[in-house]
Amino acid sequence: MSELTIGLILPDVLGTYGDNGNALVLRGRARKRGIDTEVVTIKLGEPVPTNLDLYCVGGGEDTAQILAAKHLTEHRGLIEAANLGRPIFAICAGLQVLGESFRADGRIVDGVGLIDATTSSLGKRTIGELISTPAGIPELTDTLTGFENHMGATILGPDAAPLGRVIRGVGNCDAHGATADGSAEADGQVGAEGVVQGSIIATYMHGPALARNPQLADLLLARAMGVELSSLEPLDIPEVEQLRKERLR
Ligand code: GLN
């Protein structure tokens, strides 16, 4: 077994907009530092092992994410991994699926219940660049950049904090979505992006997010290895800097 194992969870149903690339970015950044790393792919119908160091869950279409929610609830591996404090990184439909409930294919579906959040619908689909200032994790200081394409309006409960505050784009929800479920706590929900809860980091950023946000990638690697982010040797990859500059322009 490799020194570091990264689970790519259900890429056959949750892997839109290149989200599978997050696992590849993590593997690439670890290998550049001489850490023997492998990606373990878990497909629909296969049990999720609890002993991986880090888990990546991507985005997907409505029907696909309903299948994912059912699978991840029935096979308890990801839930157990979260209970063990293993880092989990989830994108868009992945974020919604890990919540308490979400709306898909015109109905409300039970989520896995790892994130204190419910997802209803935005006033209209949001598609475009999503930029935010990190908020929920002190070590994260670099502006977050990604691409969003979703209909979900996610309201966070008291156990979940936003990953960032939106500078451009929508993120978790718009004003319509914030009040759709009659939530009296709409304040602060509009303009929130993503979720931080225990060992889980989730976001609406596709991109893949970790190609655009190397500091976030390294934070996940550091957590997976049980070390401080500041202890990771910096990587000088000019293409990544160039990509960030272009997307943030
Ligand atoms: N199906 C979900 C929505 O439209 C998630 C989409 C996605 O993962 N990009 O909100």
4-248 placed in CATH 3.40.50.880: yes
- Please tell me if the CB atom of residue 93 comes closer than 6 angstroms to any atom of ligand 1: yes
Mutation test residue for ligand 1: of 149, 173, 176, 204, the one with most atoms within 8 Å of CB? 149
What per-residue confidence (pLDDT) applies to 24? 98
Q: Is 76 annotated as a binding residue?
A: no
Per residue in 153-206, pLDDT (tens digit) is: 999 999 999 999 999 999 999 888 777 665 545 678 999 999 999 999 999 999
- Quick check: helix, strand or coil at residue 175? helix
Question: Cα(150) to centroid of ligand 1, in Å?
Answer: 4
Angle at which helices 21-32 and 214-225 cross, to 10°: 70
Domain ranges within the chain, ordered by starting residue: 4-248
Give dist(CA 73, CA 98) in Å, integer: 9
Per residue in 2-50, pLDDT (tens digit) is: 899 999 999 999 998 899 999 999 999 999 999 999 999 999 999 999 9
Per residue in 210-234, pLDDT (tens digit) is: 999 999 999 999 999 999 999 999 9
Question: Cα(26) to centroid of ligand 1, in Å?
Answer: 23
81-90: average pLDDT: 98
Give all strands (DSSP E) within 54-100, no chain letters.
Answer: 54-57, 88-91
Task: Say if residue 59's pLDDT is above 70.
Answer: yes
What per-residue confidence (pLDDT) applies to 166? 97
Question: Cα(181) to centroid of ligand 1, in Å?
Answer: 19
96 contacts 53 by C-beta, under 8 angstroms = no
Per residue in 110-159, pLDDT (tens digit) is: 999 999 999 999 989 999 999 999 998 999 999 999 999 999 999 999 99
